[in-house]
Amino acid sequence: MDQTDQIAQLRTSGFSYSTFILFCAVVAATVVGIPLYGYYIGYTLFDWIHFFVMYIVTGMGITVGYHRLVAHQSFDCPDWVKRLALIAGGWALQNSALTWGADHIRHHARTDTDEDPYNATRGFWYSHCGWLFYYTPHRVSKYEIRLRRDPVVLWQHRYYWPIVASGLILPFCLGFWWHGTFLGGISGLLMGGLFRMFMVLNSTFTINSLCHMVGAQPYGTQDSSRDSWLISFVSFGEGYHNYHHTYARDYRNGLQWYNFDPSKWIIYTLSLFGWATNLRRLDSSKV
């Protein structure tokens, strides 16, 4: 490690109070504010549909955009498709694709070690969300080198916070447009914005925690990664985590056609229109 990386480690070590406060604010608004609003004001069918659609769009932004496209280069696509995917991923409040991708590349390179950002050997809560509150001393520039060559990734990193804000403004505007009242806008903000953000955060967190603790290891025991078909239903197919750790560049996490993996279905559908190319996959006969 050179002197520049050592200095970067010293500057980024310690507890992140800003992240902790933001996380607590999102949790408090979700578990307290949303039920209270529902009790006194109520939500309509449109509000629930709004939440469900935004949950899918944002979740796919993480799984298809951040994870399989940026971090693992499992397929290629035009810049306009990548921009849309990274905008949707930015709505999840999981950091920019540059930072997220670099952390994830490090996770695969150093799984279950102190350098693993969400090291599952440190327990459920640490790997689920506790790691967020610490500036890791192991975040070094080498994990960002490839990502920094991508102008779309750098664009999204530069405008990350305006993108996050747009993921809250849009639901408010849609709620206001549908209901025609300010309270309708609040309903949209709470369901399509905050509740959707909270649920996508936790669906991603389950991969870092439960998929390293619960499930089978049919493809390899080189680390703690595990397959859980149940978690795939809330994480858009990411629950087949043991396969993913063993064959990380495959655009599929669920290898078999019947595995619930809507992210691979989206990528394949994009390929039918020429909007996704070079889909990387392992020959199933070699597994």
pLDDT tens digit string along 26-74? 999 999 999 999 999 999 999 999 999 999 999 999 999 999 999 999 9
Question: Which helix (H) or strand (E) covers residue 62, if one does?
Answer: none
d(CA 18, CA 6) in angstroms, rounded, equals 23
Q: What is the CA radius of gyration of the chain?
A: 19
| CA distances for 13 relative to 44, 117, 174, angstroms | 45, 13, 41
- Considering the entire predicted model, what is its pTM? 0.91
CA triple 225-103-238, angle to 5 deg? 40
Check: CB of residue 279 under 8 Å from CB of residue 267: yes
Q: And the tokens for 178? A: 């549908």
Instruction: Return the bridge partners of 14, or none.
Output: 135
Q: Which amino acid is at 69?
A: L
For every residue of 145-164, DSSP letters joined together read: TTGGG-HHHHHHHHTHHHHH
Q: Which amino acid is at 281?
A: R
CA triple 251-252-256, angle to 5 deg? 150
- The pLDDT tens digits of the residues spanning 96-144 come to 999 999 999 999 999 999 889 999 999 999 999 888 888 776 666 788 9
pLDDT of residue 141: 75
